[in-house]
Amino acid sequence: MEFFATCPAGFERLLANELAAQGISGVRPLTGQVSFTGPLDAAYRACLWSRIASRVIAVLGRVGASSSDNLYEEALALPWEDHVSPNVSFAVDASGANDALRDTRFTALRVKDAITDRIYSKRGTRPLADPKNPSIRLVARVSRNHATLGVDMAGSPLFSRGYERTRSKAGLRSDYAAALLALGQWPRNSADELPALLALASNPDPLLIEAALSACTLAPGLLRTQWGFERWPLHNASCWESLVQEARERKEANTSTKLYARSLGKSTLRAKSILRSLGIPIQVTSLSSSSNALPHDVSCLVADLSDIREHETAKESSWLGTLARTARDAKPSVVAVAARNKLPEAFLRSESETTLWGKLGREALAMMAIRPTDDGQTLSTVEIKPGSGITVLVPSSDQFAARLKKVARTRAKWARRTDVSCYRIYDADLPDYAVTIDLFQGCDPATGNPSNERWLQIYEYAPPKGVDKDLARCRLMDVLAIAPRVLEVREEDTFLRIRKHDKGGSQYAAEARDAKSTNRSAKQPPSLPPGAHLIDEGGLVFEVNFSSRLDCGIFLDHRDTRAMLREMAKQTKGSKRFLNLFAYTGTATCYAADGGMRYTTTVDLSRPSLDWARRNMQRNGFTGPSHEYVQANVVSWVREQRRTKNRWDLVFCDVPTFSNSSRMGRRSFDVQRDHAELLIGVSRLLTKDGICVFSCNLRSFKPDTQKLEKAGVQIEDITEQTIPEDFRRNTRVHHAYLVRRTPRDL
């Protein structure tokens, strides 16, 4: 007979080797499946022993599939009455597609119709179709203009062992875990009498259980209670029972095997109880505590890093660093790793002997077998403190560590002297380490004193196309490993953001689509949203959030600008009205109110930002109807206000470089193109002695002085006065100007 076993793409050769090891002949790996030939017991063996196969299909025939009618007619000719017994329900599963058959549900329907019509013509009764719980499951696999029809011998996926009901959602599926173990040649990878395996994963359970099944030569099929071939007329019950008995006799106690587990996540290790329930007498030792010393008898290290997503660079750095240190200390003969990329090779300083590329969901999955180097120098080491070092990927990262330690000491002295608690420490000082690192010190809102909480905000611009992406990522991972240690901040309190070199719409476009407003009564104290923290700046308390959006809620480079606004507010006479345009979280409004501005208007397109601004004002005691918050397109709003009698003594306008929000109207906002028109409009909203502080962060910005002067607008560059000490390395971090009406134009 002819059979084929299906498997995840990329696992075909592993599955072919597994089937051949069971004495099955005619094994041929194809795409997503392995075909083989032999008597019925060959399929039984595959069902009983395969740890990698998803299903085992007995081929009943190959038919044409150039059209749905062609598929129906040729399927109708097969002797289905020999395979579907009376009073037995069936279902058809279809996979694959071609130009004529694009919908698998329609393909399954046409095959079902052919089977039903064939059996009706032979017996005079129609068989019972039960798509949810059939007695026998038939399959149709379409490829090009042909379809292979057969019987699913397993009935349900072979990777559903049964123990999965007790495990958490995290962790590899059992067939993926088995494939990774096979790649690491477990348990045949060591000639030691006492083979030992160490599993490193967010949830090590599947790896440990599959390793135990292999070590005890326990056929995974023995854990199942139902099979798809049991109601198939061609089923040979005596042959099957003899193979089951043989499998039971081959099971070994194998108590000499040692299994170790180190958890990378917070999942509870359940492998011990699961193995006990399966009657497997292999002990599992947990090494999740940092106080546990690593064993030195590990012959195979298996690591599942597939839980890491593309944006989780900090998590990836931490987990890969743990992998490298574990491999260095445990000294396994082979390391088998499942990851989303090939960075584990860089961390282990060795290229993989074998790499299989597959899919996990819709994302690529690399499964690698790596033999670590024997020189004991898996990674370079950078000394952070005397006697305390950290492993790094790129040897030159020691220069970054030295630079960071130096500037951190200097900046800390300056911060203490000037009473600054949140500041920039590193600003792309080394070209190859083009990141910025900001330190934030928490504050106690009840006392206003500094708290013990500290956070790091790290920004990296995506590297240009000409830069090696893997090298750039390795450098970034070194930054994420070094910075928290040097600055004495917990890894979980270190946050990374990637900025891209494009115009892409500003924060206002994205934030305007955020959640609905959460306005609160002025009398009700504002609650702290999830992920938010409180900091102090200039004697005021502000809310920051490092995980919800690209920017944390306060721009540190405008610290001096905000202080300048407060002093200007103190000197303002008259109605003392303040206007904040493109207000973001309203930090400038708080400073102006603290400087004595009795009436404030805060305008922004984003409702969540306005709610944030309101909370900042409330925390600093500025409440009531004299403080208004307006959600509007600033450009249109300024144009509308020119037709009213509303005028302001002091205006702060910190514009985005670019915004293409649909709420901006027909035209996007570009600061270089549109600033003159905006400033002319803002100047008409000023009182006689009113003044506007205008800023932007477009490095190449040039004010259109000629157009502004012609419109009666004075503009004075004050950028130098507004750049704080901790931003002096990059004085183009923003531009700032004073904007007034010329006397003759008033």
Look at residue 333 in the predicted model and tell me its pLDDT. Answer: 87
Range of lowest pLDDT (144-153, 524-533, 696-705): 524-533
CA distance to 491, 498, 545, 565, 698, per residue, from 551 (Å):
19, 11, 8, 22, 16
Chain segment 437-479, per-residue pLDDT in tens: 999 999 987 777 888 999 999 998 777 777 777 788 888 888 9
**Distance from first CA to last CA of the chain, Å, rounded?**
97
Comparing 348-352, 432-436, 735-739, which segment has the lowest mean pLDDT?
Answer: 348-352
d(CA 72, CA 26): 30
pLDDT value of position 341: 86
Concatenated DSSP letters of 571-609:
H--TT-EEEEES-TT-HHHHHHHHTT-SEEEEEES-HHH
Contact indicator for 282, 212 with CB cutoff of 8 Å: yes
The mean per-residue pLDDT over the stretch 94-115 comes to 95
Amino acid at 118: R
Side-chain-facing half-sphere of 29: CA atoms under 13 Å: 15
Which secondary structure element, helix H or strand E, spans residue 559, and what is its range? Answer: helix 559-571
Mean pLDDT of 523-532: 77
Helices (H), 104-260: 104-123, 174-183, 205-215, 237-250
Tokens 């303040």 correspond to what residue? Answer: 578
Instruction: Give the confidence band of 536 by pLDDT, cuts at 50, 70, 90.
Output: very high
CA–CA separation, 57 and 46 (whole Å): 10
Residue 99 and residue 105: Cα distance in Å, rounded? 15
Question: Which of 40 and 663 is assigned the larger pLDDT?
Answer: 40
Mean of pLDDT values over 550-562: 94
Q: Which of 73, 63, 65, 61 is nearest to 145 (CA)?
A: 65
What's the CA gap between 204 and 207, in Å, rounded? 5
In 3D space, the residue among 7, 9, 1 whose CA is nearest the CA of residue 19 turns out to be 7
Confidence of residue 193 (pLDDT cuts 50, 70, 90): low
Count of CB atoms situated within 10 Å of the CB of 125: 10
159: tokens are 């990777």
Residue 382: CB atoms within 10 A of its CB come to: 21
Q: Which residue has the higher pLDDT, 555 or 194?
A: 555
Judged by DSSP in three states, 149 sits in strand
pLDDT of the residue at 502: 43
Place of tokens 């504050």: 443
Burial letters 305-325, b for 16+ CB under 10 A, else e: bbbbeeeebbbbbbbbbbbbb
Gap between the Cα atoms of 730 and 428, Å rounded: 9
Q: Does the pLDDT value for residue 515 go beyond 50?
A: no
- What integer is the mean pLDDT of 400-414? 96
| Per-residue pLDDT reduced to its tens digit, 306-329 | 988 766 777 787 788 788 888 888
Confidence bin at 254 (pLDDT 50/70/90): confident
CA dist 22 and 323 (Å) reads 34
Go through the domains of the chain in sequence order and give each one's CATH number: 2-152 (3.30.2130.30), 163-217+252-370 (3.40.50.150), 380-501 (3.30.750.80), 517-745 (3.40.50.150)
Q: Where are the alpha helices (DSSP H) in 506-553?
A: 507-511
Question: In this structure, what DSSP letter does residue 733 have?
Answer: G
Distance of CA 239 to the CA centre of its chain: 49
Q: Is the pLDDT assigned to residue 589 strictly greater than 50?
A: yes
CA 20/CA 54 separation, integer angstroms: 17
Strand partners, 5: 34, 56
DSSP 673-731: HHHHHHHHHHHTTEEEEEEEEEEE--TT----HHHHHHTTEEEEE-HHHH--GGGTT-G
Tell me the pLDDT band of 376, cut-offs 50, 70 and 90: very low
> In angstroms, rounded to a whole number, what is the distance separating the alpha carbons of residues 60 and 83?
9
Task: Considering only residues 422 and 354, tell me which one the structure prediction assigns the higher pLDDT.
Answer: 422
Nearest to 364 by CA among 339, 345, 335: 339
With beta carbons less than 8 A apart as the criterion, state whether 293 and 332 touch: no
Among residues 743, 691, 740, the alpha carbon closest in space to that of 714 is found at 740
